[in-house]
A and B are shown apart, each in its own frame.
Chain A
Amino acid sequence: MSNVFIALQTNEDTRQIIEAIVQDNPHAVVNEQPAMVKIDAEGKLVVRRETIEELIGRSYDLQELQVNLITMSGNLDQTDDEMILYWNA
């Protein structure tokens, strides 16, 4: 199965978001590059609202991610609770 990825800006907003992604996706690999963090994962990657909320200590709207998002790869499905990136093949 191919890799999906998501890349976020390196800043104080994304520090816990990246931590949450790593927690929820043990197969994910974090690549730190100048000013950005790219997270690769085989097949599928899930960003969960609840995990982020636990780590930042406030309620969070997954659409806020737009502000710090750099790029991504894979088919996307977003709901109130999850943002999923996946490949079918």
Chain B
Amino acid sequence: MDMQVAKKKLGLKERYAVMTRGLDWTPSYQKMEDIYPYMAYEGIKIHDWDKWEDPFRLTMDAYWKYQSEKERKLYSVLDAYIQSNGHLNVTDARYLNTVKLFVSGISPLEYVAHRGFAHAGRQFPGPGPRVACLMQSLDEIRHAQTQIHAVSNYNKYYNGMHDFHHAHDRVWFLSVPKSFFDDAITAGPFEFMVAIGFSFEYVLTNLLFVPFVSGAAYNGDMGTMTFGFSAQSDEARHMTLGLEVIKFILQQDPANVPIVQRWIDKWTWRGYRVLTLVAMMMDYMLPKRTMSWKEAWEVYFEQNGGALFKDLARYGITIPKCTEHIALEKDHLSHQAWGTFYNYAAATNFHTWMPDADEMEWLSAKYPESYDKYYRPRMEFWREEAAKGNRFYNKTLPMLCQTCQIPLVFTEPGDPTKICYREVDYKEDKYHFCSDHCKKIFEDEPEKYVQAWMPVHQIYQGNCFPEGTDPTVEGFDPLAAVMKYYHLEFGRDNLDFEGSEDQKNFAEWRGQATKNA
């Protein structure tokens, strides 16, 4: 007689072992170095891949189960949001510009992260990190897709988002996040993991997603809040992967420590420079603010990152030197960035504006050491000029940093009245930098960074006009031609928020939503 006896289920640890290491095999007729050709050249020594273990112990079967649950939740919220004209419930139409920045600056990076983790996962001989990279690769393409789906609803009503990926590959300031990720995926697999898995995901991602998404919620943007939290629920796993990878590499061989330290120093700075966009978003672009950039930096980097580096000290890792510089910049970064975008608003895919009197009060309160002394006077001046009909648009192209590609707008560490310039002569050419850190990154790998696609240089070389443009004709307007090349409409997608089509439409539609027109 057959008796069905319920089999005892495997515990989490056993299940993880069976579903990761248990699926691996040792090749018999191909050499390991032929199958995994990128494992040696970065100088990292790994002796035992089995020492790596995902502390979540997530296996693919459980992965699909929880990810599909997240998707169901996300899409039912999105449907409800769209059906109820949720976009009209955001605090203020200025808020929508953060969404434009997000979809053109961040979502395309999710897609590149997907490719990067697929590539890194393929290259690692260890089944543990391979499975974790596979999951992260799938997460990242999910993030790109859900963000595009969520933002496509805004694109039906508001300007600047219609060709976000085209913009990502061309617009001058979007080369900052783009080149950051291009730099990471063209590094070796170990450096990629330290760059994105550790420095970006573990050390910096909280600064991007947590205040942004919490800020979206605070400003009534349920669509963004939902995709943001749905993506963020994967981030905890990514952060864990980043931390485990670092610990694993450091434990494997003491010779790995100096290599990893250099990567941590480099990528903490590279990531921080990209977060300039987040700093100005938090301090200037969210109509209702959750916390200042400076406060977020203190909570998520100084306290949390400080704890992390204390924990890594036993491997011989020290906190990156650049954090001393960053500490000096935290009172200035967002103001300098927003001032720059206000200047260059004729060449952007979103609108800028000057803060009103209440908002300036908030900025003074959050930045008592710097705002009134250095930034309020210039912002009041710009506001007064705009009121007189002289809204200032800077049409001169700026000098860019060869490493981070940000215009040279940051000030000397410790002296906010003096712009910081650095330069290096390399093979008969001169290269410019925003800081000692970007300069050092270049000097360590000059052959990589001389190849950078620099937006300003490309415009001057005539490579950023639509095909068939003749720049020699009388009255040629280079900015108008560049905007056409970006697929952006002058006067509609760019310029000040005041007087924009977005402002007008939002006011009219919100009026219709609350009254019988």
Q: Mark A residues whose CB is within 8 Å of B.
A: 2-5, 7, 9, 33-36, 63-64, 66-80, 87-89
Contacts and interface: CB of A to CB of B under 8 A. Distances in A.
A87 B62 contact: no
Nearest to B217: A35
Contacts of B11: 79-80
Contacts of B262: none
A51 to B, nearest CB: 18
Interface of B: 11-13, 55-58, 62, 66, 69-70, 73, 205-206, 209-210, 213-215, 217-218, 225, 229, 232-233, 235-237, 239-240, 243, 247, 290, 303-304, 306-308, 310-311, 313-314
B229 A9 contact: yes
B215 A34 contact: yes
Nearest to B13: A79
A63 B66 contact: yes
B218 A34 contact: yes
Contacts of B314: 88-89
Contacts of B13: 79
Given A33-B214, A35-B214, A75 B69 contact: no
Given A5-B304, A79-B12, A80-B12, A71 B235 contact: yes
A34 B290 contact: yes
Nearest to A64: B66
Contacts of B308: 73
B229 A35 contact: yes
Contacts of B213: 35-36, 70
Contacts of B313: 89
Given A70-B209, A80-B11, 15 more contacts: A4-B307, A36-B229, A66-B66, A70-B232, A70-B236, A71-B206, A71-B239, A73-B239, A77-B55, A78-B12, A79-B12, A79-B13, A87-B310, A87-B311, A89-B313
Contacts of A35: 213-214, 217-218, 225, 229
A66 B237 contact: yes
Contact of B66 (A33, A34, A67, A77): A67
A50 B229 CA distance: 26
Contacts of B57: 78-79
B311 A2 contact: yes
Contacts of A67: 66, 69-70, 73, 233
A34 B217 contact: yes
B289 to A, nearest CB: 11
Contact of B290 (A5, A33, A68): A33
Contacts of B304: 3, 5, 73
Contacts of A77: 55
B316 to A, nearest CB: 13
- Secondary structure at the B interface, as helix, strand, loop or mixed, is helix
Contact of B307 (A70, A72, A73): A73
13 contacts: A2-B310, A35-B213, A35-B214, A35-B229, A36-B229, A66-B236, A69-B233, A70-B213, A70-B233, A75-B243, A76-B56, A76-B240, A87-B307
Contacts of A2: 303, 306-307, 310-311
A5 B210 CA distance: 13
A72 B236 contact: yes
A71 B314 CA distance: 25
Contacts of A5: 304
A9 B239 CA distance: 17
Contacts of B55: 75-78
Contacts of B66: 63-64, 66-67
Contacts of B239: 71-73
A71 B58 contact: no
A71 B457 CA distance: 40
B330 to A, nearest CB: 20
A5 to B, nearest CB: 7
Nearest to A88: B311
A63 B310 contact: no
Nearest to A77: B55
A36 B55 CA distance: 24
A15 B137 CA distance: 31
Contacts of A87: 307, 310-311
Contacts of A89: 310-311, 313-314
Contacts of A63: 56, 58, 62, 66
Nearest to B229: A9
Contacts of B205: 71
A74 B311 CA distance: 9
A74 B306 CA distance: 11
A37 B39 CA distance: 41
B348 to A, nearest CB: 28
A79 B15 CA distance: 11
A75 to B, nearest CB: 7
A19 B307 CA distance: 26
A58 B310 CA distance: 40
A68 B58 CA distance: 16
Q: Which interface residue of B57, B73, B205, B307 has the most chain A CB atoms within 10 A?
A: B307
Given A36-B210, A66-B66, A89-B310, A3 B303 contact: yes
A66 B56 CA distance: 10
Which of A9, A64, A71 is packed against the most chain B CB atoms within 10 Å? A71
A5 B243 CA distance: 15
Contacts of B311: 2, 75, 87-89
Contacts of B70: 66-67
